[in-house]
């Protein structure tokens, strides 16, 4: 009997076995978003000599807003360089934001009021992409998992017990794996250990930054299924970052699309995938390879080169590759606005906004 | 939203338990099979034991002078390696000299590894302003040729083994700190350190449990390569009249006092140098052996 | 690239200042009253008062430093306790002699080191390589002052071929390029050259072996290039690293000469340092160390800059 099937069948309560809003750390009830991000910005300065007149910056993340509700999984997609990973690191404060606010369950993070960064880190954890580099090569697996709890005051014995529990939770028998070293197990197993390590802190929010991207396809499927089982069991709230649209569709409730440091569209997964509102989203979805021989593409859906994050185009950043760009797109940046009154599906595109001056406005059907 | 569980986690956990060969066990095994390292180890052990048990091993009192028995050649009856310019038994003085020379070789390196290593890890992990402060100060020390710095400090402090120790330790702190900082900076940027930071752990804990085990290897290799330098440098200081003072037996000092006899009894005059050379060479070869043993990725 | 050079020079400046601070502190490291550290034992009260005013020991430390620094910059290094003459007058000729010795050591040691290292690198892995490597390890481990004594024993005492000490036959300060003078320099130069030669040989060997392994060399061989041309390619790639190591060794020679000069009584800066230690002549000690250290910094700077000019990859950083 597989350990994962055990997971769902057992009656044994796990520490977080409750609705996330019933978590003792909960402050705002089920309707308050667990995470609210406003205007998050990070620019990286490029190193030039002291004699460089123009100091160049990479505008990695340029004022993004989004929320994550309790218990939901938000998928973040975009091409390489769009700022997804930087966003993840900004959320964890591994990189200091240049501007913007992060609000965790109603409390601003890092400011004078609200929660401290250390406290935030006890509630938000991250699983990285490189499974090997994420584990200390000189530390046995169980110790690596137990480190976080121990560093936060949990006694050694209890931390070790927790580590063993987590190892079995992710499908790695503690008797065999607790004392192993990272180089002695496979990539898929390592990523499970990383997941266990992230869960050891009993986080309220788990950020998965390309967590399955580096794995072989079959192992990726196993790991995704594990994540889904864990999520259901532990009622986790997740942010799932990936460039793989199919994976994001499989695992997310809502999806956010990023382009060159900005949010271009966000909405429920089924709606967004069926009827994408932003031309970039549409192009991304159209460029997925299909097994259907009738769906052949002769022209690539996206034309042109990806622009430079150092000097993004004026106005709407996508306009240089957009099939429906018009004059107004070069003048003004489109603002993220809801397509319908209840605000579920929002898009940042002049064509979708009536009265924006776009030549061919398309109203959401 | 229930998805069917199509995987069998059993497949993932059915991996054979691998042979648990930890990293250090592999290093020890490779070292034991390297003939050069083993020979050097034996030689050094002999010298070390002779030095520790000097009162039992040395045939004569190293301080007893005798004007009639000055500069006897090696092979004289009763005096296996001859006598020095004041009639003292060379063999006994060499054995006793090993005590001081070995201490002057090992202790500065040990202290410098602790201090310099810690400084480097701090500078490498903390980065930014702290890094600049610590490393710039190290750079100033590094800006002196080592011999010059050792001579300068012990010259200013005055002769004596204690001052020599201080001087040598200060000389070695800067290179140790450099190596330590460089390795720490590499390790610090690895994902697992970021993950550790993401747990909200205190800096000292991260440095101790995550950084230290991963930088210990290169630091120890470099440290071991400094031992031979320290021995030569320490005896060099005594040779110049800094460091140990007569009538104490110390190999470098013996070279100094025997210099006058170089025309009359050349073999005696160069004998202490053989000891310095041998010890230094053995430590060097062992350090090389350690480096190649640790180089092989397990 | 000019910006890199400027940056590198401005970076060296604080180091140089730090060096001066360290040298300044040397006098205060000495046990006892700083004034007695710079005075001869039988100094008259008048001299005592003069020097006290000169050194301003009653002022706070930073002020003293700046006063001292100002004097240094105009070349006034104080008065030697031993000879009662200006320190700078003693140091400059001594450094000149050290330079002569160092140049000779470089002329002998560097080519030998490079040659041995290159040979070992090209025959990497064979018995010849191991022989050369052993020689290099020996060279690094040997206490060079002892080696000097051994050479003296062999060549001066037993074979009586070369003089054992001094720089010139009559002990005069002048130098000339004739055999009488040259024979004095041979033994100390060889002694001094051993360690740099060994270190350079090791470094060259490693670099050459490493380069030969790289793919582009395999490409060169398969293109049918003659071994001599390949040698040229390898040399060009190995150049910057070797230059860096050689430059460092040259700088180390400045400091390392102290021991060899003592053995051979070569009247260089090392010898001067030694006698200054003996006589507790702190002004000379301080002045010599300061000049040698600053020279060291300058040479390192030059080596860095030259390395940048030769290695195009570094230019872009």
Touching check for B270 and chain C: CB below 8 Å?
yes
CA distance B261 to chain C (A): 11
Per-residue pLDDT, A125: 92
Rg (CA), chain A: 22
Supply the DSSP symbol for A233: H
Closest residue by Cα to residue A224 from A162, A269, A170: A170
Q: Report the percentage of chain B scoring pLDDT > 70.
A: 90
**pLDDT over 60 at A25, yes or no:** yes
pLDDT, tens only, C148-187: 888 887 887 777 667 667 666 555 555 556 666 777 788 8
CB C284 within 8 Å of CB C278:
no
What separation in angstroms does the CA of B175 have from each of A61, B140, B141, C298?
41, 11, 9, 19
pLDDT, tens only, B227-274: 988 988 888 888 888 888 778 888 888 888 888 777 777 777 788 888
Contact A184 B202 (CB under 8 A): no
Contact B22 A92 (CB under 8 A): no
Give the DSSP per-residue string, chain C: -HHHHHHHHHHHHHHHHHHHHHHHHHHHHSSS-HHHHHS-TT--HHHHHHHHHHHTTTS-HHHHHHHHHHHHHTT---B-TTT-SBHHHHHHHHHHHHHHHHHHHHHHHHHHHHHHHHHHHHTTTSHHHHHHHHHHHHHHHS-HHHHHHHHIIIIIIIS--S--S-SSTT--S---SSHHHHHHHHHHHHHHHHHHHHHHHHHHHHHHHHHHHSHHHHHHHHTT--HHHHHHHHHHHHHHHHHHHHHHHHHHHHHHHHHHHHHHT--SHHHHHHHHHHTT-HHHHHHHHHHHHHHHHHHHHHHHHHHHHH-HHHHT-
**What does pTM read for this prediction?**
0.79
Q: Report the percentage of chain C scoring pLDDT > 90.
A: 0
Among B6, B200, B213, the residue with its CB nearest the CB of A152 is B200
Per-residue pLDDT, B180: 93
**pLDDT over 60 at B12, yes or no:** no
Q: Report the percentage of chain A scoring pLDDT > 70.
A: 87
> What are the two backbone dihedrals, phi and then psi, of residue B228, each rounded to the nearest 5 degrees?
-65, -35
Among A147, A159, A218, the strongest candidate for a mutation testing the B interface, having the largest count of B CBs within 10 A, is: A147
Contact A228 B3 (CB under 8 A): yes
Selected residue with higher pLDDT from C132 and A13: C132
Per-residue pLDDT, C266: 84
Burial state string for B78-100 with b = 16 or more CB within 10 A and e = fewer than 16: ebebbbbbbbbbbbbbbbbbbbb
CA distance linking residue B171 with residue B148, whole number of Å: 9
pLDDT, tens only, C85-131: 777 888 888 888 888 888 888 888 888 888 888 888 777 777 787 88
Touching check for C3 and chain A: CB below 8 Å?
yes
3-state DSSP assignment of residue A10 = coil
Among B140, B155, B236, the residue with its CB nearest the CB of C143 is B236
pLDDT, tens only, B197-232: 888 888 899 999 999 998 988 898 899 889 988 988
DSSP β-ladder status, A57-68 and A124-127: unpaired
Q: Taking residues C224-234, report their average pLDDT.
A: 73
Q: Which residues of chain B lie closer than 8 angstroms to C19, CB-CB?
A: 140, 143-144
Residue of C nearest to A49 (CA): C3
CA distance linking residue B236 with residue C144, whole number of Å: 9
Touching check for C7 and chain A: CB below 8 Å?
yes
SS (H, E, C) B186-227: HHHCCHHHHHHHHCCCCHHHHHHHHHHHHHHHHHHHHHHHHH
Ordered structural domains, chain B, with CATH = 2-63+72-294 (1.10.3720.10)
Closest residue by Cα to residue A324 from A357, A279, A290, A277: A279
pLDDT, tens only, A189-248: 999 999 999 999 888 899 999 988 888 888 888 889 999 988 888 888 999 999 888 899
Contact B7 A184 (CB under 8 A): no
Contact B151 C278 (CB under 8 A): no
- Band (pLDDT 50/70/90 cuts) for residue B5 is very low
Q: Taking residues A337-355, report their average pLDDT.
A: 79
CA distance linking residue B171 with residue B174, whole number of Å: 7
Contact A226 B190 (CB under 8 A): no
Which of B 143-202 lie inside 8 A of A, CB atoms? 190-192, 194-202
Question: Structural domain boundaries of chain A?
Answer: 2-47+54-275, 278-365
Closest residue by Cα to residue A148 from A102, A191, A111, A195: A195
Among A148, A222, A232, the residue with its CB nearest the CB of B199 is A148
pLDDT, tens only, C297-314: 888 888 877 777 766 665
Among B34, B139, B146, B151, the strongest candidate for a mutation testing the C interface, having the largest count of C CBs within 10 A, is: B151
Contact B198 A125 (CB under 8 A): yes
Residue of B nearest to C195 (CA): B229
Q: State the CATH class of domain A2-47+54-275.
A: alpha beta
Q: Neighbouring chains of C at 3+ CB pairs within 8 Å?
A: A, B
User: What residues contact A285, with CB distance under 8 A and at least 6 apart?
Assistant: A245, A273, A276
Instruction: Specify the DSSP element, H or E, that contains A231.
Output: helix A217-234
Per-residue pLDDT, C296: 85
Cα end-to-end distance, chain C, whole Å: 9
Residue of B nearest to A153 (CA): B201
- Band (pLDDT 50/70/90 cuts) for residue A79 is confident
Per-residue pLDDT, B20: 44
Contact A128 B199 (CB under 8 A): no
**pLDDT over 90 at A81, yes or no:** no
User: What residues contact C34, with CB distance under 8 A and at least 6 apart?
Assistant: C27, C28, C55, C57
CA distance B249 to chain C (A): 17
Q: Neighbouring chains of B at 3+ CB pairs within 8 Å?
A: A, C
Average pLDDT in chain B: 81
CA distance linking residue B85 with residue B70, whole number of Å: 5
**pLDDT over 50 at A12, yes or no:** no
pLDDT, tens only, A35-72: 889 989 998 887 654 545 556 788 888 889 999 988 89
Contact A232 B2 (CB under 8 A): yes
Among B1, B8, B10, B13, the strongest candidate for a mutation testing the A interface, having the largest count of A CBs within 10 A, is: B13
Per-residue pLDDT, B115: 95
User: What residues contact B2, with CB distance under 8 A and at least 6 apart?
Assistant: A232
Per-residue pLDDT, A76: 93
- On the question of a cis peptide bond just before residue C174, with omega within 30 degrees of 0, the verdict is no
Looking at A72-186, list the stretches that DSSP marks H as alpha helix, in order from N- to C-terminal side: 84-91, 117-123, 141-151, 156-169, 174-177
Residue of B nearest to C149 (CA): B270
Contact A50 C4 (CB under 8 A): no
Contact B147 C22 (CB under 8 A): no
Contact C4 A51 (CB under 8 A): no
Per-residue pLDDT, B19: 39
> What are the two backbone dihedrals, phi and then psi, of residue B49, each rounded to the nearest 5 degrees?
-65, -40
Among B155, B262, B281, the residue with its CB nearest the CB of C138 is B281
Touching check for B79 and chain C: CB below 8 Å?
no
User: What residues contact A31, with CB distance under 8 A and at least 6 apart?
Assistant: none
CA distance linking residue C182 with residue C176, whole number of Å: 8
- Secondary structure percentages of chain B, helix, strand, coil, to 5: 75, 0, 25
- Secondary structure percentages of chain A, helix, strand, coil, to 5: 35, 20, 50
Touching check for A107 and chain B: CB below 8 Å?
no
Residue of C nearest to A47 (CA): C317
Residue of C nearest to A52 (CA): C3
Residue where the block lists tokens 């990859």:
C313
Among B140, B235, B252, the residue with its CB nearest the CB of C18 is B140
Q: Taking residues B121-139, report their average pLDDT.
A: 89
Instruction: Tell me the residue length of chain C.
Output: 317
CA distance linking residue B17 with residue B40, whole number of Å: 38
CB C120 within 8 Å of CB C137:
no
Per-residue pLDDT, A20: 53
Give the best-scoring range by mean pLDDT among A107-121, A318-332, B201-215: B201-215
Per-residue pLDDT, B184: 92
Q: Is the ipTM of this complex over 0.85?
A: no
- Band (pLDDT 50/70/90 cuts) for residue B10 is very low
Residue of A nearest to B217 (CA): A138
Instruction: Specify the DSSP element, H or E, that contains B270.
Output: helix B266-295
pLDDT, tens only, B57-114: 778 887 888 788 777 777 777 777 877 778 788 888 888 888 888 888 899 999 999 9
CA distance C3 to chain A (A): 7
CA distance linking residue B123 with residue B141, whole number of Å: 16
Among C19, C164, C274, the residue with its CB nearest the CB of B143 is C19
What's the count of helices (H) and strands (E) in chain A, helices before strands? 12, 12
Per-residue pLDDT, B297: 45
CA distance B206 to chain C (A): 31
CB A238 within 8 Å of CB A315:
no
Residue of A nearest to B11 (CA): A2
Instruction: Tell me the residue length of chain B.
Output: 298
Q: Which residues pair with A77 in a beta bridge?
A: A242, A257
Q: Taking residues B166-182, report their average pLDDT.
A: 93
Q: Which residues of chain B lie closer than 8 angstroms to A2, CB-CB?
A: 5, 7-10
Supply the DSSP symbol for A103: E
Tokens linked to A66: 């989004």
Q: Taking residues B34-51, report their average pLDDT.
A: 85
pLDDT, tens only, B185-197: 989 888 899 889 8
CA distance C18 to chain B (A): 6
**pLDDT over 80 at A172, yes or no:** yes
CA distance linking residue A321 with residue A332, whole number of Å: 16
Selected residue with higher pLDDT from A263 and C68: A263
Q: Which residues of chain A lie closer than 8 angstroms to B17, CB-CB?
A: 176
**pLDDT over 60 at A307, yes or no:** yes
């Amino acid at each position: 009997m597989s350990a994962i099937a055990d997971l769902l069948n057992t009656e044994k309560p796990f520490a977080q076995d409750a609705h996330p809003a019933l978590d003792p750390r909960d402050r705002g009830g089920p309707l308050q978003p667990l995470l609210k991000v406003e205007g998050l910005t990070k620019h990286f300065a490029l190193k030039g000599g002291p004699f460089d007149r123009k100091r160049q910056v990479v505008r990695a993340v340029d004022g993004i807003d989004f929320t994550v509700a309790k218990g939901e999984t938000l998928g973040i997609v975009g091409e390489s360089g769009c700022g997804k990973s930087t966003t993840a690191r900004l959320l964890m404060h591994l990189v200091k934001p240049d501007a913007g606010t992060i609000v965790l369950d109603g409390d601003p993070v890092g400011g004078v009021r609200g929660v401290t960064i250390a406290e935030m880190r006890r509630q938000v954890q991250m699983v990285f992409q490189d499974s090997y580099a994420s584990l200390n090569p000189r530390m046995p697996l169980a110790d690596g998992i137990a480190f976080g709890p121990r560093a936060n005051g949990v006694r050694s014995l209890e931390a070790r017990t927790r580590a063993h529990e987590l190892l079995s939770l992710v499908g790695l028998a503690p008797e065999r794996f607790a004392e192993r070293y990272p180089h002695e197990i496979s990539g898929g197993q390592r990523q499970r250990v990383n997941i266990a390590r992230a869960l050891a802190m009993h986080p309220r929010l788990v950020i998965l930054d390309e967590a399955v991207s580096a794995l072989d396809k079959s192992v990726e499927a196993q790991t995704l299924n594990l994540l889904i089982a864990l999520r259901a069991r532990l009622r986790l709230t997740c942010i799932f970052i990936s460039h793989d649209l199919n994976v994001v569709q499989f695992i997310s409730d809502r999806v956010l699309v990023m382009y060159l440091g900005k949010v271009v569209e966000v909405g429920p997964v089924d709606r967004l995938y069926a009827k994408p509102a932003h031309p970039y989203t549409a192009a991304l979805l159209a460029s997925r390879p299909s097994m259907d021989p009738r769906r052949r593409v002769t022209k690539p859906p996206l034309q042109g080169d990806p622009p430079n994050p150092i000097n993004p185009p004026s106005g709407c950043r996508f306009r240089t590759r957009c099939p429906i760009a018009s004059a107004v797109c070069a003048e003004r940046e489109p603002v993220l606005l809801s397509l319908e009154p209840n605000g579920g599906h929002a898009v940042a595109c002049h064509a979708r906004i009536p009265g924006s001056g776009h030549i061919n406005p398309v109203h959401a059907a | 939203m229930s998805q069917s569980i199509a995987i069998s986690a059993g497949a993932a956990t059915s991996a054979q338990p691998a042979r648990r060969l930890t990293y250090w066990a592999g290093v020890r095994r490779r070292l034991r099979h390297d003939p050069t390292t083993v020979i050097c180890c034996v030689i050094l052990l002999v010298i070390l034991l002779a030095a520790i048990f000097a009162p039992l091993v040395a045939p004569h009192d190293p301080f007893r002078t005798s004007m009639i028995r000055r500069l006897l050649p090696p092979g004289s009856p009763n005096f296996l390696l001859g006598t020095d310019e004041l009639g003292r038994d060379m063999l006994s003085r060499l054995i006793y000299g090993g005590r001081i020379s070995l201490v002057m070789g090992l202790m500065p390196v040990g202290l410098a590894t602790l201090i310099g290593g810690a400084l480097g890890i701090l500078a490498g992990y903390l980065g930014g302003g702290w890094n600049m402060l610590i490393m710039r100060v190290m750079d100033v020390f590094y800006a002196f040729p080592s011999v010059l710095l050792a001579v300068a400090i012990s010259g200013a402090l005055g002769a004596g083994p204690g001052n020599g120790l201080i001087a040598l330790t200060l000389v070695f702190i800067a290179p140790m700190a450099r190596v330590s900082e460089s390795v720490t900076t590499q390790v610090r940027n690895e994902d697992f350190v970021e993950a550790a930071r993401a747990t909200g752990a205190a800096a000292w804990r991260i440095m101790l449990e995550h950084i230290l085990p991963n930088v210990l290897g290169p630091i120890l290799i470099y440290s071991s390569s400094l031992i031979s330098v320290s021995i030569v440098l320490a005896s060099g200081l005594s040779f110049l009249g800094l460091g140990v003072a007569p009538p104490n037996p110390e190999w470098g000092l013996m070279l100094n006092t025997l210099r006058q006899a170089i025309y009359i009894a050349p073999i005696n005059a160069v004998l202490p140098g053989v000891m310095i050379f041998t010890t230094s060479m053995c430590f060097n070869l062992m350090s090389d052996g350690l480096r190649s043993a640790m180089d092989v990725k397990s | 690239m000019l910006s890199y050079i400027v940056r590198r020079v401005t970076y060296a400046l604080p180091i140089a200042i730090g060096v001066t601070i360290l040298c300044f502190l040397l006098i205060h490291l000495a046990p006892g009253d700083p004034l007695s550290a710079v005075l001869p034992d039988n100094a008259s009260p008048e001299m005592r008062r003069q020097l006290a005013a000169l050194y301003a020991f009653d002022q706070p430390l930073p002020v003293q430093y700046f006063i001292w620094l100002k004097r240094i910059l105009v070349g006034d290094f104080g008065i030697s306790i031993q000879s009662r003459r200006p320190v700078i007058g003693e140091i400059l000729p001594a450094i000149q002699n050290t330079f002569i010795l160092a140049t000779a050591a470089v002329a002998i040691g560097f080519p030998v080191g490079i040659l041995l290292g290159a040979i070992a690198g090209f025959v990497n892995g064979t018995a010849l390589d191991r022989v050369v490597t052993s020689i290099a390890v020996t060279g690094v481990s040997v206490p060079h002052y002892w080696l000097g004594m051994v050479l003296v024993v062999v060549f001066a005492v037993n074979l009586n071929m070369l003089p054992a000490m001094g720089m010139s036959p009559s002990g005069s300060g002048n130098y000339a390029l004739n055999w009488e003078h040259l024979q004095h320099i041979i033994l100390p130069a060889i002694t001094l050259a051993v360690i740099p030669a060994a270190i350079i040989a090791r470094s060259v060997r490693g670099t050459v072996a490493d380069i030969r392994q790289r793919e582009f060399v395999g490409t060169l061989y398969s293109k049918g290039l003659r071994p001599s041309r390949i040698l040229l390619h390898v040399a060009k790639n190995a150049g910057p690293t070797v230059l860096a190591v050689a430059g460092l060794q040259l700088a180390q020679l400045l400091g390392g000469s102290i021991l060899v000069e003592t053995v051979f009584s070569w009247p260089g800066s090392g010898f001067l340092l030694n006698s200054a230690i003996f006589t507790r002549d702190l002004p000379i000690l301080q002045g010599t160390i300061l000049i040698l250290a600053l020279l060291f910094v300058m040479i390192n700077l030059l080596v860095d800059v030259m390395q940048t000019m030769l290695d195009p990859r570094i230019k872009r950083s």
